[in-house]
């Protein structure tokens, strides 16, 4: 039987972006793929017509990338309250989550909800990315970090120990070589590699294939 390491050439970890709507989850996802995978543009992650029209993520989107030591499968979850079911479906697949929080706004309703749901579906690790640091007040960023750590502790995560990276996903996507640009993505990936343990995969057990969703598509029929 082929092991996960044999299939990807290195240990495999499932991660994803969670957090409030418009805090930059999809922009961060695109920035990571630009520097660590096959670049997937923002409008290709939010590729459904309704997503482009409304400017928000509705369905979960999947991308892949890798560091020197790991292969990552990444799911970008919707942050809008109307699509929490889709967020739960995405989070249930994760070994770890990247919690994206705007350094301008701080924790918002879906920030709290996503942390709670991540805990409930068994996400083992959270790494925080405080986004939009290029336009946020430095004192506000410190306050946001403190509030996020308190929230994580409240919902059962080790808030004092969780890695927090400060940056700008947009600047990283624009290839700006600065502390808040590309270097923040490098630091984020370093923290993922260091903090998130590779989960055991029960490859000796019978095959199990979860079904994420079923669609009825005109001209195609039922698509699983």
Residue 170 CA to residue 134 CA, distance in Å, equals 9
Active-site residue, selected from the candidate residues 12, 17, 20, 22: 22
154 part of the active site:
no
Can you say how many angstroms the Cα of residue 100 is from the centroid of all Cα atoms in its chain?
A: 8
Active-site residue, selected from the candidate residues 35, 80, 183, 187: 80
Residue 73 CA to residue 51 CA, distance in Å, equals 22
95 part of the active site:
no
29 part of the active site:
no
**SS (HEC) of the chain:** CCCHHHHHCCCEEEEEEECCCCCCHHHHHHHHHHHHECCCCHHHHCCCHHHHHHCCCCCCEEEEEECCCCEEEEEECCCCHHHHHHHHHHHCCCCEEEEEEECCCCCCHHHHHHHHHHHHCCCCEEEEEEECHHHCCHHHHHHHHHHHHHHHHHCCCCCCCCCEEECCHHHHHCCCCCCCCHHHHHHHHHHHHHHCCCCCCCCCCCCCCCCCCCEEECCCEEEC
Active-site residue, selected from the candidate residues 26, 33, 57, 111: 26
Active-site residue, selected from the candidate residues 25, 71, 114, 191: 25
22 part of the active site:
yes
Q: What residues act catalytically?
A: 22, 25-26, 80
């Amino acid at each position: 039987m082929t092991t996960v390491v044999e299939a990807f050439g290195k240990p495999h970890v499932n991660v994803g972006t969670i957090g409030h709507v418009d805090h930059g989850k999809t922009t961060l996802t695109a920035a990571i793929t630009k520097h660590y995978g096959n670049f997937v543009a923002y409008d290709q992650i939010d590729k459904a017509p309704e997503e482009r029209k409304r400017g928000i993520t509705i369905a979960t989107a999947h991308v892949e990338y890798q560091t020197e030591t790991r292969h990552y499968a990444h799911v970008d979850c919707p942050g809008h309250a109307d699509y929490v079911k889709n967020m739960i479906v995405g989070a249930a697949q994760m070994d770890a989550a990247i919690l994206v929080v705007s350094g301008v706004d701080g924790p918002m309703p879906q920030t709290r909800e996503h942390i709670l749901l991540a805990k409930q579906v068994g996400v083992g690790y959270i790494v925080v990315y405080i986004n939009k640091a290029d336009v946020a007040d430095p004192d506000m960023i410190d306050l946001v970090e403190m509030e996020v750590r308190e929230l994580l502790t409240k919902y059962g995560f080790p808030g004092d120990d969780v890695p927090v990276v400060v940056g700008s996903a947009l600047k990283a996507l624009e290839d700006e070589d600065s502390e808040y640009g590309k270097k923040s993505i490098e630091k984020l990936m370093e923290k993922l590699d260091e903090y998130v343990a590779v989960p055991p995969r029960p490859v000796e057990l019978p095959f199990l294939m979860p079904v994420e969703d079923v669609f009825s598509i005109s001209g195609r029929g039922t698509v699983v």
